[in-house]
Chains A and B, each alone.
Chain A
Amino acid sequence: MRSKDYPAIGERVYTETLENGLRVLVVPKPGYKKAFALFATDYGGADRRFRLAGEWRDTPAGVAHFLEHKMFDMKDGRDALSVLSENGASPNAFTSSDMTAYHFSSTDGFWDNLDTLLRFVSEPYFTEKSVEKEQGIIGQEIRMTEDEPDSVQYYGLLKLLYAENPIRDSVAGTVESIAEITTQTLYDCHKVFYNPSNMVLCVAGDVEPERVAEAAVRLLPTRYGEKPERDYGNDKGLRPFKKRTSVTMPVGLPMFLAGVRAPKAEGEALLRQSVTAELALKVLMGASSPLYLSLYEKGLVNAGFSAEFDNAAGVSHCLFGGETASPDAVLDAIREELSRVAASGCDEKLLERVKRASLGASLRGLDSLEAICVGMARGVFRGYDAFAEIPLAALTSADEVNAFIAESLRPENMAVHMIEKGA
């Protein structure tokens, strides 16, 4: 395996691309009792339309997530969740818009657990009965998220920002869409997206890197599969599809989530975009910004107010929002600040401060094996080196931040989703 050192943050990463195309990354963490393994595919809720044997194929919303649940069923009738747990591991999985990841951590029996992880994720086994049973469980998961204000806000806003990109629909799908899923749908999607060449294996812990790669070579198919081509629709420009909507739900306080689309970026350019966007949002409305401090002092926002940059399924956007009794007053203040900074440039002293602060936040992230592995996997799928992000903030100039604000945070491109307070 090749290794690369990151002396400033005291980390080393071992990497190898196997013959079957699987990317393997190992981050040694001396002194840790547990080791964490994440086996992920570049396949998420937004990957609904893809080309299979030359033909475009549409699948219902929620297949990637459904598959995540069903992969735990093993051929011998046992389920991988129990097998891993019975061997001392803490297993779990998640599906986002553009990734499905299976993972475990264990303080004991790591290598056996790693074998189990590699096996169950690469060997599909579905029955009609088990698919039907899962429709009940996932149905309740969907009902749960329908009641969660944050989830309602998030998908509500993405539906405003994008007319076509399937990122606008809930990763889990709907009770109706998952009713269309059959064992065949699951087998087909597994075949297309669970090729080793479309996957990454990431381990962090006090483990021998070579042994991780060896396990993958020993247990995974040797065939190199093609990376599937996907269609995310054609949302052009930076204008939102729609500007504003509101729903009523039982919540403590009214809430809003606003968003602005940023230009499409890939690989290293995406990494730079992400670092620049995070700095821009901190300068504009982060905990040290004059806007946030003034809104907080006026009682217009509380400590839950947040702003972040996000990228998935080929699109990038900034999202910001929180709880407030006066959403329009807050939105006006945000629009005014965006225009002001776009015209006069950001406060460079403040920028230097938030750049300095970002180092501490990055270091904290290195104390979470889970965060390291998820970040690494995401980096591989999007074409950049996740650890390269950390020194990047210090190298970002005020000009880059100002350019991002002027182009990607225009008040006229903002869409807003509101939750009004119901009984």
Chain B
Amino acid sequence: MQAFLRKEIMPRVFLTCVKSDKFKSGVYTAELVTALRRGEASLNAVLPKILRRGTVSASDMDAVAERLDMLYGARLEPLVRKIGERQLVGLAAFFADDAFVPEKSLLERVIALTGEMLVAPATSGGRLRADYVESERDKLIDEIHSVVNERQQYADMQLLAHMCEGEAYAVPVRGTEAEAAKITVFTATKRYRELLSSAEVELFYCGSAPFERVERASAEALASLPRASSAPLPPTQVLTEPKRGDTRTFTETLEVAQGKLSIGYRLGDAMLAPNYPALAVMNAVFGGCVTSKLFRNVREKLSLCYYASSRIDKHKGVMLVSSGIEPANYEKAVAAITGQLEAVRSGDFTDQELESAKKALINAYRSCDDSLYALESWYVDNARLGLNWTPDDMAAFVSLVTKKDVTDACRGVKADAIYFLKGGDAVEE
């Protein structure tokens, strides 16, 4: 089992390290954790993009690109993610391990540059540079427009916007075009300063270096990080019932060949004292793996689609089913998906289906230790819930899940909203 260490290295700055000698590269991420909120999401999302443009010592993209080339092609990218009703914005660095390049302090130099981007951006007259702010604002707006290019992702986003209307969870990770259009050098600078001093900072490293080395480099890189006290963030709001009691349906038309179906569920009472391993197995049995009800029936038996899968957001207590179907098969697909959920709820699944789902999950969790990306998202995600399980711990818990645990986890699951993106002329109904 791979050991991990987590420590508050400065006030509300948490460093998680996984030491492993098997990789030839490493990952380092630095993220500011804030509440996902309407009116602020775009402003938060644009910040790491602005910071990536230049720092006090590498003041433009040209200088940053040169620095990264000299660091043996290190990648340093803006990071924006949504975990429950938290928005995390920051930077992610991927770089060669010192052992395989002539440079022996590559790690320190990568952490120094990441830290500098976060705490010492290029400025002009005490503010973020107006040209960088405006340029990145425009690019953020483009990105918001382009979500529609990924048809299913767009459908899932629209589903959540409708289903969770009024909840923070409805807010897209990059906010909205209207919000983004309001970004100015003044609002961006103000928000940057607030966030830098008030936000909890999540640092993650995985690679061959020992914890102390990463801690030292991080403390040095973030030495000038302002730390002010701040009120704790509101918890992610969990609804145990569909918002309007029964299932709502929403349809939008876009000129596409294939319809995209997205169904959102509330997990119900299972979220009062969540049994995370049981929820994971329930999802796997229903639609989370190739032996799942959705894959076996909706795809293989009924030939309705190429993909039909489910996933859970354990922070929000929401489950999502996504599938690409022929628009004419809408009713059939919804009925099939609903029927499969009923089967899981009523315990109409074999021991083999249960064991297969558990094995798929155990393999996936155990495989986390072999991927820098998987480890990073595992630890950053679980830290939001105060969980300190390793992926191996989770695999062990999953192996103990019983059929009753699964039906219990499924008992209160209710469909809240159905969203269908269908082909044809583009008119919102």
Contact = CB atoms under 8 A, between A and B. Distances in A.
Interface of A: 8-10, 29-34, 79, 81-82, 85-91, 105-108, 133-134, 136-138, 140-141, 143-144, 146-150, 249-253, 287-288, 290, 293, 296-297, 299, 302-303, 323, 353-354, 356-361, 363-364, 366-369, 422-423
Given A140-B324, A143-B324, A30 B22 contact: yes
Contacts of A299: 135, 138-139
A137 B305 contact: yes
A364 B94 contact: yes
A137 B305 CA distance: 5
A82 B299 contact: no
A144 B324 contact: yes
Given A33-B366, A359-B73, A367-B25, 18 more contacts: A10-B99, A30-B22, A82-B356, A85-B290, A90-B364, A91-B290, A107-B362, A108-B366, A140-B305, A143-B257, A146-B258, A252-B149, A297-B61, A299-B139, A302-B143, A323-B146, A354-B69, A360-B73
B109 interface: no
B367 A82 contact: no
Interface string B12-38: 000000001111110000000000000
Nearest to B77: A303
Contacts of A250: 148, 254-256, 426
Contacts of A89: 363
B145 interface: yes
Nearest to A357: B73
B149 A363 contact: no
B22 A29 contact: yes
Interface string B50-74: 0000000000011001101111111
Q: Which 8 A-B pairs have the closest CB atoms?
A: A357-B73, A252-B146, A136-B303, A360-B73, A252-B145, A31-B22, A360-B72, A423-B426
Contact of A253 (B101, B145, B325, B369): B145
Number of contact residues on B: which range applies? 35 or more
Contact of B100 (A323, A363, A368): A363
29 contacts: A32-B22, A33-B370, A86-B352, A90-B360, A90-B364, A107-B362, A108-B363, A134-B303, A136-B304, A137-B305, A140-B305, A140-B306, A140-B326, A144-B151, A250-B148, A251-B146, A251-B149, A252-B143, A252-B144, A252-B148, A287-B68, A293-B65, A297-B61, A357-B69, A359-B72, A364-B25, A364-B96, A367-B24, A368-B371
B147 interface: yes
Contact of B142 (A137, A323, A366): A323
Contacts of B257: 143, 146-147
A288 B367 contact: no
Contacts of A249: 255
Nearest to B360: A85
A130 to B, nearest CB: 10
A357 B72 contact: yes
Nearest to B139: A302
A363 B96 contact: yes
Given A33-B366, A288-B65, A357-B72, A253 B142 contact: yes
B96 A147 contact: no
A147 B21 contact: no
Nearest to B21: A31
Contacts of A141: 306
A61 to B, nearest CB: 17
A357 B100 CA distance: 13
Contacts of A79: 300
A31 B20 contact: yes
A358 B73 contact: yes
B72 A137 contact: no
A140 B258 contact: yes
A386 to B, nearest CB: 15
Nearest to B292: A85
A296 B69 contact: no
Given A147-B258, A251-B146, A423-B426, A353 B70 contact: yes
B291 interface: yes
A106 B370 CA distance: 11
B372 interface: yes
Interface in B265-311: 289-291, 296, 299-300, 303-307
A81 B292 CA distance: 11
B242 to A, nearest CB: 29
A150 to B, nearest CB: 8
B97 interface: yes
A252 B24 contact: no
Nearest to A91: B290
Contacts of A252: 142-149
